[in-house]
C-alpha cells in the first residue's frame, strides 16, 4: 500500500485503540446488563444502594389522601382522576415538615400542557377537550373559572 493510505489507516487504528484503553480504565467493572435481560438497561451494580438512599420526591396520591381526603375525593370522581396530585401541586417530599415548600402551580401553561387543541386524530390526545389559548380568555388564569379538582362543574 501507498503511504497516503497507510497513515490515515494507522491514525484510525491508533484512535480506536486509545478509546478502548481509556474505556478499560474509565468504566467500572460492575457496569453492564447485570441480569438476564435488558429490563433495566446498562447500569452500575454497586449504584443500587446509592439509589436506595436517594430521597423520593414524588409520594403518590395515597400520601396526599391522608390529610387531604376531601380534595382527593372530589378529584377521584372527576375527569382528572387519572392525574396524580403532584403533577399540578409539585413533589411532596418535604410537605408535612415544610408546608410552604409545596407551591401550587396556577399558571395557564400547566393546563395548556394537556388542553391546548392539538390535532392528533389517531391518539387519545384528540379526545381531551382542547382550547385555542390565544382565543379562550388569553389574559385569565384557568383556575379562576374552572375548578381543577372537578373541572366539569
**pLDDT tens digits along 66-79:** 888 888 777 878 88
Residue 152 lies in a domain: no
- State which residues form the domain around 23: 3-53
Residue 115 lies in a domain: yes
Residue 153 lies in a domain: no
Q: How far apart are CA 25 and CA 13, in angstroms?
A: 19
56-60, 92-96, 131-135, range with the lowest pLDDT: 92-96
Residue 60 lies in a domain: yes
Judgement on whether residues 7 and 48 belong to the same structural domain of the protein: yes
The pLDDT score that the predictor gives to residue 101 is 67
Judgement on whether residues 101 and 128 belong to the same structural domain of the protein: no
The pLDDT score that the predictor gives to residue 148 is 84
Distances in Å between the Cα of 113 and the Cα atoms of 78, 81, 103, 109 are 18, 16, 18, 6
Residue 23 lies in a domain: yes
The Cβ-side half-sphere exposure at 33, using a 13 Å CA radius, reads: 5
The pLDDT score that the predictor gives to residue 77 is 80
pLDDT digits (tens, 9 = 90+) for 33-43: 887 777 778 88
Average per-residue pLDDT for the chain: 83
The pLDDT score that the predictor gives to residue 105 is 80
Residue 119 lies in a domain: yes
Rounded to two decimals, what is the model's pTM?
Answer: 0.57
The pLDDT score that the predictor gives to residue 39 is 78
Q: Confidence band (pLDDT; 50, 70, 90) for 14?
A: very high
Average pLDDT over residues 88-116: 80
Amino acid at each position: 500500500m501507498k503511504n497516503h493510505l497507510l497513515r490515515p489507516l494507522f491514525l484510525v487504528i491508533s484512535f480506536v485503540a486509545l478509546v478502548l484503553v481509556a474505556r478499560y480504565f474509565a468504566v467500572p467493572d460492575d457496569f453492564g446488563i447485570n441480569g438476564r435481560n435488558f429490563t433495566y438497561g446498562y447500569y452500575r451494580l454497586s449504584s443500587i444502594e446509592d439509589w436506595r438512599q436517594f430521597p423520593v420526591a414524588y409520594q403518590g396520591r395515597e400520601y396526599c389522601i391522608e390529610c387531604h381526603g376531601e380534595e382527593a375525593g372530589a378529584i377521584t370522581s372527576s375527569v382528572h382522576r387519572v392525574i396524580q396530585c403532584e403533577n399540578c401541586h409539585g413533589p411532596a417530599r418535604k410537605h408535612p415538615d415544610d408546608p410552604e415548600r409545596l407551591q401550587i402551580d396556577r399558571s395557564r401553561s400547566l393546563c395548556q400542557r394537556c388542553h391546548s387543541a392539538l390535532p392528533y386524530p389517531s391518539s387519545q390526545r384528540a379526545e381531551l377537550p382542547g382550547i385555542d389559548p390565544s382565543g379562550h380568555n388569553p389574559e385569565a388564569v384557568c383556575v379562576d373559572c374552572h375548578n381543577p379538582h372537578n373541572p366539569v362543574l
